[in-house]
Every structure is written in structure tokens, then in C-alpha cells.
Amino acid sequence: MRTTKKLTLLTLLVSLNSYATEIHEHHCVDSGIEKVHQLLTRYSEYSTMNGSKYSVSLAGTEVDLIQMIKSQAKPITSTEAMSENLVWLVLQPALIDNAKLYPRFLLDCKVNWSARNSFTQKCTLQKDKQHFGLSDLTINLLIQTQDPLCKAGSTGMKMDFRIDGNSDEIDQIKKATLGPAGILSPLISTFFDEDAFFRNYFSHLYDQWTKSL
């Protein structure tokens, strides 16, 4: 009984400052699998690629809500069949100058291309290294030709994300953004609702990438 109470309390405490959201998407692109591989493994170019900036249209004006400002990679291993890279990503939300409040995280990204017609990419957040905004992040991609859901000649991209946002840290970002926003704060506060912050960003990012293929 006591254990149950402790577990309940622990669950409650965990749920108070974090949330988890999952994204499951599938896209078919006309590009070949090699081109998709190139795009996904150009880690240092993530911040300059289409989709790195997430904008919304407010009163007919495009407003940049969050933008990836840094993407750096350190190769760990690289063979023909697989590669592993550490990837450092920094995002800047609108109206925040203070770098301490920039969402940032180090990912360990492993690509396995042992099969002829498919490869996987798995990126996991390195919890023991500096991170802000996210408590955990897992990205699982399966890229394959001859995808039963896609027409012949196209490439299928199955994407599964699990995002654990840190509510306390996102709340700090929200306060820092909405303060200078003044009368605009009710308009942009919806972006911070529940799990929308990272879910919208990642969904948009990969959507733009697939469109560029």
C-alpha cells in the first residue's frame, strides 16, 4: 500500500514537470534513397535547411516563433554500413535574447544501412549532457524503397518521435517570450499550449524536409 502511494506520488511529481508526446508520420518522396540519406545525415546543415525556422501567420504577417540557430556534429564511427554522430542542436524562440533559455540538446544519431533497400536512423537525447527544454527525445526513422504504402519508384519515410518536454523549462521560455510580446501575447501563447511547443516544431521541420526531396 505504501509502495503504491509512493509510486503514485512519484508519477504525479514526474507528470507535473514533464509531458510526453508522440508523433507518428509517414511520407512518400520522389527522391531516391541516397538523396534522403544525404539530407538526413548532413547534421551540420540542419540549421540552414528548409524548415529550420518555424513561422506562423498572424494578422497577415509571418512571425518566426522558433528557429534552429546552431547544428554541429562530431562523427564517432563511420563505415559503409553504419555511422554514429553526436549532434548538437540549439533553437532560439522568438523574442528571447538570453541564451540560457534557448532549447538545446545533444543527440546521438546512429544510421544503419546494412539492408540493401532500406536504412534506419535513430537519434536519442544524451541526458547526461547539457540540455534545456526537453527531458528526453527519441527519433526513429525507417527509410525504404519498395515501401508498400508508396508508389513504385518513390521512397517511403516512416517517422516516429517521442518527445518529453520539460514543463518547467518551457514555462520559463513562455514567460520570457510573452513578456516582450505585449498585446500580442494572447495570439502567440497558443504555441506554448501543452505539448505544442516541440511537437509543432519537429512536425514542421520534417514536413519541410520531405517537401524539399
Nearer to another protein, 4 or 61 (CB): 61
The piece of 24-32, 93-101, 156-164, 190-198 that touches another protein (CB under 8 A) is 93-101
| Footprint of another protein on 101-140 (CB under 8 A) | 102, 104, 106, 129-130
> Does residue 186 interact with another protein by CB under 8 A?
no
> Does residue 20 interact with another protein by CB under 8 A?
no
Nearest approach, Cβ of 72 to another protein (angstroms)? 4
Cβ-contact 75, 85 below 8 angstroms: yes
Residue type, 165: G
Per the DSSP assignment, residues forming a β-bridge with 181 are none
> Does residue 74 interact with another protein by CB under 8 A?
yes
Among residues 1, 2, 97, 153, the one that binds another protein under rule CB under 8 A: 97
Per the DSSP assignment, residues forming a β-bridge with 124 are 108, 138
End-to-end CA distance of the chain: 56
Using alpha carbons only, give the angle 114, 41, 111 rounded to the nearest 5 degrees. Answer: 30
Among residues 36, 66, 68, 73, the one that binds another protein under rule CB under 8 A: 73
Number of residues that bind another protein (CB under 8 A): 30
Among residues 23, 82, 90, 176, the one that binds another protein under rule CB under 8 A: 90
The piece of 8-16, 59-67, 161-169, 194-202 that touches another protein (CB under 8 A) is 59-67
Cβ-contact 208, 197 below 8 angstroms: no
- Which residues contribute to the site for another protein (CB under 8 A)? 58-61, 63-64, 69-70, 72-74, 86, 88, 90, 92, 94-95, 97-99, 102, 104, 106, 129-130, 180-184
